[in-house]
Every structure is written in C-alpha cells, then in structure tokens.
C-alpha cells in the first residue's frame, strides 16, 4: 500500500470482488399467445423501449418457463389458447411460488365474464386488441419498476 492509497489492500480486494459479481438478470417479460404474429409484434414493441422479452406459444410452455427462468418479472397473456388458456395459466401461477407475479391480459375475444374472472385473479389490467401500445408500455414499465 503506497502513502497515497486511501484503501487498504484488504479493502481493495473486497471492492474488486464486489465489482466482479455479475449483475442480477434484467426483469424480462414473458409473452404468452398461440398466435405467432401477435407474440412477435408485442415482443418487438417492448424491445423498442429496451424491454427484454421471452415468448411462449402455450400456457403449458409458459408454466415451464416460469419454473426455469427467475428473470421473468411480468407475464402478458392472451385468453384464448389451446389446452391451458389464459385464465387457467393465471390460476396455476397464483397457486405457485410465483403467485405474486404481475400479469396483464391482452385479448381480442373476451366477454364480461372473462374480465370479471381475470380481475378476481388479481391481474394488473385487461387490454383488448387492438392494443393501445402507449398504455401497455406504461403498465409494463410500472410493473417492472422502470422509469417512464
């Protein structure tokens, strides 16, 4: 240690160790829709704002991804999908270790009964297609804690 150093050798080593630790993975958005074009469009819209996305073509795939990828911080799901639809996906998430996961529903085919069921499952919002991208971006940024 020279006379000009503020830090001791031990402090310098500790600081170096902290600086080398990897950053936590960014919060990602999981987009679930059986319509490939809809998934890709939402992913592109969010990516333009620097929001990283993963996509799933089914509720089953989404549930597996939620188990395997802790970096997922928000789910955007369609309602009408194959075997595990949007409402069933949300029910299963609410009964899992990821129960507090914020979820936004985006649907082109929904009725009042679906909207009420979704709200009982504590979704962030229920957006109808065609989507107001400004509103969607605002919701996503709010839920991920990103400054608007």
**Which pair of tokens denotes residue 82?**
């194959």
d(CA 77, CA 130) in angstroms, rounded, equals 14
The token duo for 59 is: 């509720």
Q: Widest CA span of the chain, in angstroms?
A: 74
Rounded-to-10 torsion of CA 37, 43, 47, 48: 40
3-state secondary structure of 29: strand
- The Cα angle at residue 136 between residues 105 and 109, in degrees rounded to 5: 35
Q: Any idea which residue has 């914020």 for tokens? A: 102
- pLDDT by residue for the chain (148 residues), tens only, comes to 445 567 788 777 766 665 554 555 458 999 999 999 999 999 999 999 999 999 999 999 999 999 999 999 999 999 988 888 899 999 999 999 999 999 999 988 778 888 888 889 999 999 988 899 999 999 999 999 887 6
């Amino acid at each position: 240690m020279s006379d000009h150093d503020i830090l001791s050798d031990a402090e310098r080593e500790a600081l170096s160790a902290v600086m080398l630790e990897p950053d936590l993975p960014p919060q990602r958005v999981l987009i679930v829709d059986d319509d490939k074009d809809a998934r890709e469009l939402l992913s592109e819209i969010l990516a333009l704002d620097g929001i990283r996305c993963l996509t799933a073509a089914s509720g089953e795939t989404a549930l597996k991804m939620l188990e395997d990828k802790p970096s997922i911080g928000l789910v955007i799901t369609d309602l009408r999908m194959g075997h595990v639809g949007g409402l069933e996906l949300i029910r299963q998430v609410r009964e899992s270790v990821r129960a507090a996961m914020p979820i936004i529903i985006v649907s082109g085919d929904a009725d009042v009964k679906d909207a009420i069921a979704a709200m009982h499952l504590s979704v962030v919002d229920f957006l109808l297609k065609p989507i107001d991208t400004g509103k969607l971006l605002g919701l996503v940024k709010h839920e991920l804690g990103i400054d608007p």
